[in-house]
Each structure stands twice: as structure tokens, then as C-alpha cells.
Amino acid sequence: MNFTRPLIILTLWGVLLGGLPAMAAEDAAARIPALTNRLSLGYRAVSTDHYGRHAAPFSLLDSGPTSEVELKYLNPTLRLMFIGTYLNEADYLVEADFDYRGLLRINIDSEKLIHNLDHFSYDRPDADNNAAPPSQVEFIDRSTHDDYFVKVGIDTVKVKANLPDYPAHLTLGYWRLERTGKKQLRYLNAGGQAVCSQCHMVSKSQDIDRVTEEFTLGLDTHAGYLNLAVEQLFREFHDREPVPYDYFGSTPDRLPGFYQHDSTPDSRLVSSTIKASTSPSGGVVAAAGFTVGKKENLSGSGLGVSTVESETDFRKASADLTLIPDPTLTLNFRYRMLDQDNSTPSQISVIGLNPKDVNVRNNIDLTRATYNAKISYRPTARLTLVGDFERKEIHRSQTGSAFDDPFDPFWELPEDENINRYRLSFIAKPLGPSTLRFNGWYEYLTSDDPAYGASVEEQQQIFAGVNWTPTPRFGATTNIRLSRGVNSNFDRSEYDSGLLYRYEIDRSQQQEDFTAGLWSQLTDTLNVNFHYGYLRSDTSQDVIFGAAPDPLINENVEYQQRVHTATLSATLQVMKNLQALMEARYIRSSALFDPDFVPQVVLGFPIDSSGLSELSELDIVQTGIALGLEWTLADGWSCGARFSHDDYEDRNSSEFDGTAQLYSFSLARTW
């Protein structure tokens, strides 16, 4: 178990607590401080059946002790808060806050969670390597019994100090993101023989140990009507695990030998920002900011690969203006700009290739400007009408049409793209501020030259929502959003034997989202909540299988997705000092990709679409129930018990089916 973060936090708070008497004595008029404490100790037991990691994807499935602590100290000159919850080494949260007279404020947060990852089995009965003749694919798993997961830890420290006798604040910040764990590395390897009759799919474990650290220093001041601020940011990313490498067989362009897998390079980001704004009160409010910075690659050369020296210089600008010429009218204008200049080496050397020097395509230089204007009109206190227009102007360099060359120096993207978005919306409260509320909007978006196949050339969306609270004991809400998008302006180009082949790809998408919920206090002792959500998404797109000159073109291939979610929870006050809790969950997810092209023979192998639907089809049901009791005893003592059962069922495959049960008990005291 890693105690580094908790020890750092406890040390800092020990220093602060040690200074409490001296700080409090500085104010002779200070009242008796209010101090409250709460401590809870417990135990959590875990049991699983089959593959329980999918049933509880964000839980460390180990039994162990748990604890909670809460400390609050208040007086007129000092505020101190410390809250901590510990479930296990991969799941805890610590929050701390210190405020001395508003002159010095310190916030410390530390949290950690775990995400269980899949281990896709390479035990394939359809790939018998001892068969005669052998199967076309050989599957090799070098880490058959390993479990995969990633633990994510986030630490934050913020310090803000008022400078004595000056209208200014000094801010210091530290942020750390750490990912550790193990994941599955899967890759395709050539056999190395002169004539290879099999594809070799290999799987093995890869350790994860990545850290991102960020430091910020800021100063803000009030200079008459203006507020001024400057900020310096420094961020570094390091992958502390070496890049994995393996022996690869020969290919027509590469000699056999040891080669590295893909890597995520270490990097550094440095930026400087200046901001200015007017007072937020009054009929005219303005703000502006400008940032200049650099991102650079810090990784050195790898195994058989020369050093890649790459960097990006960027500039960002922003401006906001709010005008309120009349109490019923508000005008907002916003401008955002991003300018990126990338530099990369023209060549890199890879030992084993012939020739070993490889040309490198320059990264895209990007300039993006966003203009937004919004008008809000309130003819009555119960109705608000809003009109919104936004335009994005995108310019890319290093782009152009494809041409017949082993090294194509251009990215096949539009050099210029303009995206316009129009929205009309309303908010209505016909029965007063809280009883009944309607809101809705209609949005229309266009792009004159969509950059990608999944981009939209034209899209329409509509949203409507209702909130109804007729009494303090009952409320309901419902929302629906409909979306329709098309892209008939995207081409795919391929060269073969000196000839250019161009294929037009059409795409359309429809999506509906619906949610409904209600809450009710049925009696003085019973509260009930219910929520339901539904997602429907249908995409139709032309798909190309293979390559020029004779690809398999399947027009209007359908991809369908459906998701239903339902949650029911209730709280019952059984007795004055005994409360019962219940929650039930249900999720049904399904998806289907349905290509259908004419069977053909390619390179001597029969090709058809019969198995593609089964490979991609999803039909998953997830259910769960949670029960709990909270019992308040005498003299500040209390106890609690929790039980949860989660079930994961894949109706197309039982490989990841399983259940997870969590049992917990805690005893707490408040004083």
C-alpha cells in the first residue's frame, strides 16, 4: 500500500494544527471556537462469482477495513475542515480546507479510484494450431492469468494569499495525475519464414506508470475599474515504464529483429497568460485574455529509432463583452482564437528498414477563430427568449490532394472549413418561479467542407424539457432531444499503379435521447425517487472493405445502438433513530453493425460479410440492488450496514458474465 499522499496531507495539517493556538491568540476578541469531530471505522467484505470485474468495474475486489474522519474547527478568525473517506488503497478521498481571516487560504484534495480493464482471451477453439492444415491465425497469450486495471490518483494543492496593504492576491497551485496498473498489449507479428501461411496474434501484459505534474503561479490585482491577472503554468508528463519491445519477423520492407512497440513520449508544456476584466456589475462588462506557450517532446531515441525532436508553439486569445441596455435585454459577444505552429524533423532513422531513413510528414498547423453572439430578451418575468449564433473559421496548413508517391507530404483534409451554428431557445414559467417550468431550443449547424467522415455537413437538433413541482412533496421532470445529421461531401482517395481512385462516402445519423424522473415524499417517513433514460442512435454510412483498384463497397451500412436505464431508490424512516435505504438499477444495452456485400475471393481466400455482424453485436444487461440501514445510538454513537449485488450478463457471450457482492459495516461517533 502506498501511504505517500496520506502522509503528506497529514503532515501539512499537523503543521497547521500546531499553529492554531498562536493564530487564535492574535485576536483578543475571538469567541470560543466551535469544534466538531466524527470518526467512523468499519469493514468491507467482497465476494464475486465468475468474472465479477465487469459487474463492479470501479471497485477493488478485495476485502478490508474502512474508515471515515471529519474535523471542523470554526471561530471568527479561523476556519479549518478535514474530511477523509478510505475504502482501500485504490479508493479513497481526502479534502482539507484552511482559511485564516481571509488572508491565507489553503485547499488540499487527494483522491484515488480504480478501473478494472478487460482481458480478452486468446483461447480460441477456432484457431487450432495443431490442425491439418493449420488455421489461418495463430493466437498466443503470454500472460494468460493476469488481471488488468488502472489506478488513477489525483492530488491538488491550492494556496491563495492576500498581500498586506495591497489590493492583490498571490496564488500557488499544484496538480498531479498518476496512472498505475497493468493493461493488455495485443499486436500482430510476422512469422519470419520466407513464406508465412499464418497471421500471429500475440497478447502480453504491459505495466502502466504515468505521471503528469502541473505547477501554477498567479497574481491578480484591482486597479481602479480594471481587474488584472497574470498566470504562469508549467506541466510535465512522464511515462516511467520503459517502452516494450519484441522480436518481429521479416517483412518486404524490414529485416527481422527486436523492435519497439508504440510509445507515448514524455512532454512538457509551458505557458504564460495575462487577463484583464472590468467590474462584473453595471450595464457594460468586458474581459480579455492572451496566452502564449510551447509544447515539446522530451523523449530521447528509442531502440533502433532516432530521437524525434518535435514542438508546438501556440497562442490563444479571448474577448468577452456583455451589454445590458435595458432590464429586459442582454447582449453577449464572445471571441476565441487558437493558433498552433508545429515543427517536426524531416526524417527519422529506423534500423532494420531499407532504406533506414524515413521521411516524416509535417504536422498540421492550425488556426481556429470562434465568434459568438447571443441576445436574451425577457418580455415578462415568466418568459425568456434567446437567440444564439456561432461561427468557427478553421485554417489548416500541410493539407492537399492525394498523389501517387510512397511519401505523401500532405494531409488529405480541407485547408479551410467554416462551421455556422444557429440556435433559438426559450424558458417559460407560466405558473410562477418554481411550480412549472418549460425550456426548449432548436439548433441548425452547417459546415461548408467537413474534414472527416464522421463530421456533419448539416445537422438539426431540437430539445424540450418540463419541470413540474405542484407541491413540496412531489416533483417530476422529463426531457427529449432529437438529432438529425448528414454528410454527403466527403471523398476517400487511393492510388494504385499510378492511377487515382476516388470514392464518395455518404453518412447520415439519427439520434433520440429521452429522460424522465420523479420524486415523491409519500408519507412523513417515506421518500421515493425514480429515473428512466432511453438512447436510440441509427447511423447509415457507405463502407469500403479492402483497397484500390477493386475494393468491396457496401452502401448504406447500418449501425444501431439502443440503451435503456432505470433507477428506483427509496428512503424509509423506520423509527426515530433507524433509517432504511434501497436502490435498484437496470441497464440494457444493444448494438448491431450490419454490413452486407457480395462474396468474393481475395488473394485466394473467400471473403464474405456473414460473420461481421456477430463479431460486433452487443446485447448486455446490467442489474443491481443496494440495501442499507443507518442506526443512531445514544451519546453521539451510530452504526450502519450496506449490501449491494451487481450482475453483468452478455447475452451473446458468457466470457465476461459475473456478479459482485459488497458487504460493509461501520461504527461511528460524533463529538
Strand, helix or coil for residue 24: helix
Q: Tell me the whole-structure pTM to 2 decimals.
A: 0.86
Contact 608, 638 (CB under 8 A): no
pLDDT tens per residue, range 585-601: 999 999 999 898 878 77
pLDDT average, residue stretch 623-636: 94
Neighbour-count burial of 325, counting CB atoms closer than 10 A to its CB (0-12 exposed, 13-18 middle, 19+ buried): exposed
pLDDT average, residue stretch 618-627: 96
- Rounded to 5 degrees, φ, ψ at 442 are -125, 135
Lowest mean pLDDT, pick from 146-160, 496-510, 561-575? 496-510
Residue 410 has pLDDT above 90, yes or no: no
Residue 91 has pLDDT above 90, yes or no: yes
Residue 288 has pLDDT above 70, yes or no: yes
Amino acid 418: pLDDT: 96
Per-residue pLDDT band for 607 (boundaries 50, 70, 90) equals confident
Amino acid 464: pLDDT: 98
- Rounded to 5 degrees, φ, ψ at 455 are -75, 165
pLDDT tens per residue, range 223-255: 888 999 999 999 999 999 998 988 888 777 778
Amino acid 20: pLDDT: 44
Residue 493 has pLDDT above 90, yes or no: no
Three-state DSSP string of 276-323: EEECCCCCEEEEEEEEEEEEEECCCCECCECCCCCEEEEEEEEEEEEE
Beta bridge partners of 401: none
Residue 22 has pLDDT above 50, yes or no: no
pLDDT average, residue stretch 445-449: 93
Amino acid 135: pLDDT: 64
Lowest mean pLDDT, pick from 430-434, 517-521, 660-664? 430-434
pLDDT average, residue stretch 373-396: 96
pLDDT average, residue stretch 638-646: 96
Q: Alpha-carbon distance 554 to 505, whole Å?
A: 10
Q: How confident is the prediction for the chain on average, in pLDDT?
A: 88
Cell of 404: 501517387
Amino acid 134: pLDDT: 60
pLDDT average, residue stretch 479-503: 85
Per-residue pLDDT band for 403 (boundaries 50, 70, 90) equals low
Per-residue pLDDT band for 66 (boundaries 50, 70, 90) equals very high
Per-residue pLDDT band for 42 (boundaries 50, 70, 90) equals very high
Per-residue pLDDT band for 659 (boundaries 50, 70, 90) equals very high
